[in-house]
Amino acid sequence: MLILIVVLTFASLTLGVMSLYWLFGRTTTTVEARLDVVDPSLVTIENSPLTTMSRAAQPINRMVPISAVEAAKLEKQLLHAGYTSPDAAVAYRAIQLLSFATLPTIVVIFCFTMSWSFNTTLIWGIFAAAVGFYIPRVILKRKIAGRKQRITWALADALDLMVIAVEAGLGLNAALNRVGEEMKDLHPDMHKELELVNLEIRVGRSREEALRNLTERTGVDDIRSFVALLIQADRFGSSIAKAVRVFADSLRTKRRQRAEQASAKAALKLLIPLTAFLFPVIVVTILAPSALNLYDLLLK
């Protein structure tokens, strides 16, 4: 028991010291010194928190590597959550491993101070390790679901603005740029994605490739259908305004159907709290006086 606590404490202290060294004690390289002379903003980008965290996580990821398939899957999930930095996967992996090591250490130390048995401490330590490993995954899935929902809600407004822009005489690229600017305050997630599309088109990528990258970054089915519609309309030379208007109408019908479905499910979901909390209170309130009178009658 004591040996296990000493080992876990030593591991936690080692990881903490390594993290502090990589965060604050790392010397400035020649490249960073030259960047500082040329443009200080470049060093600011280089020393961003995500980049610094990824550097601190490199030794940990070397000790516990993951396969190429899992790495590709993780990068795709991080893209769906809105993390487009190339260092996001390394930072996420470091957070997951640190949580996996730190949480059971805290639990084991707590069990030792409470003088619990070795078996109980071992069980709680294993449970804490599993919780620490899966907490980052749960948080990531919730962020993915929330971002997809926000993009889905923003798509209908974006389509309406695009119809107006295209019918006003703007081209598709100019319409995408205009819609992205108009949605900056109301829907920042959609604004960011459309801005990335416009940047990819400006640097020389084809419009079809930029739109397909949009579907890969978001992972939203409605976005995938909309991108396929734009690609087909652009390829066959049909009216983009008419195609977008028809798709916007179908999307609003789909949103109304989803709202009706959610309202129908709400009535069924309310049965569980009503049955568990409200009905017992009503039964006790109605039957309590009769039960008390019956109890007094039986005692007499």
Report pLDDT digits (tens) over 180-192: 888 888 888 888 8
Question: What is the tens place of the pLDDT at every residue in 63-90?
Answer: 555 666 777 888 888 888 888 887 788 8
- C-alpha distances (whole Å) from 37 to each of 24, 30, 34, 43 are 21, 11, 5, 9
| pLDDT above 70: percentage of residues in the chain | 77
CB 159 within 8 A of CB 251: yes
Q: What is the rounded distance in angstroms from the CA atom of residue 220 to the CA atom of residue 80?
A: 9
Any residues with CB less than 8 A from the CB of 150 and at least 6 apart, and which? 187, 189, 190
Any residues with CB less than 8 A from the CB of 56 and at least 6 apart, and which? 18, 19, 22, 23, 94
Q: How confident is the model at residue 41 (pLDDT cuts 50, 70, 90)?
A: very low
Q: Where in the chain is the domain with CATH 1.20.81.30?
A: 148-266
State the pLDDT at residue 146: 92
Q: Averaged over 41-45, what is the pLDDT?
A: 41
Give the total residue count for the chain. Answer: 300
Between 235 and 54, the more confident residue is 235
229, pLDDT greater than 80: yes
231, pLDDT greater than 80: yes
DSSP 1-63: -HHHHHHHHHHHHHHHHHHHIIIIIPPPPHHHHHHHHH-HHHHHHHT-HHHHHHHHHHHHHHH
Q: How confident is the model at residue 132 (pLDDT cuts 50, 70, 90)?
A: confident
91, pLDDT greater than 60: yes
Between 20 and 90, the more confident residue is 90
State the pLDDT at residue 265: 85
109, pLDDT greater than 50: yes
CB 211 within 8 A of CB 230: yes
- Domain spanning 148-266: which CATH class is it, in words? mainly alpha
State the pLDDT at residue 99: 86
Q: What pTM was estimated for this model as a whole?
A: 0.69
Token pair, residue 55, equals 């550097």
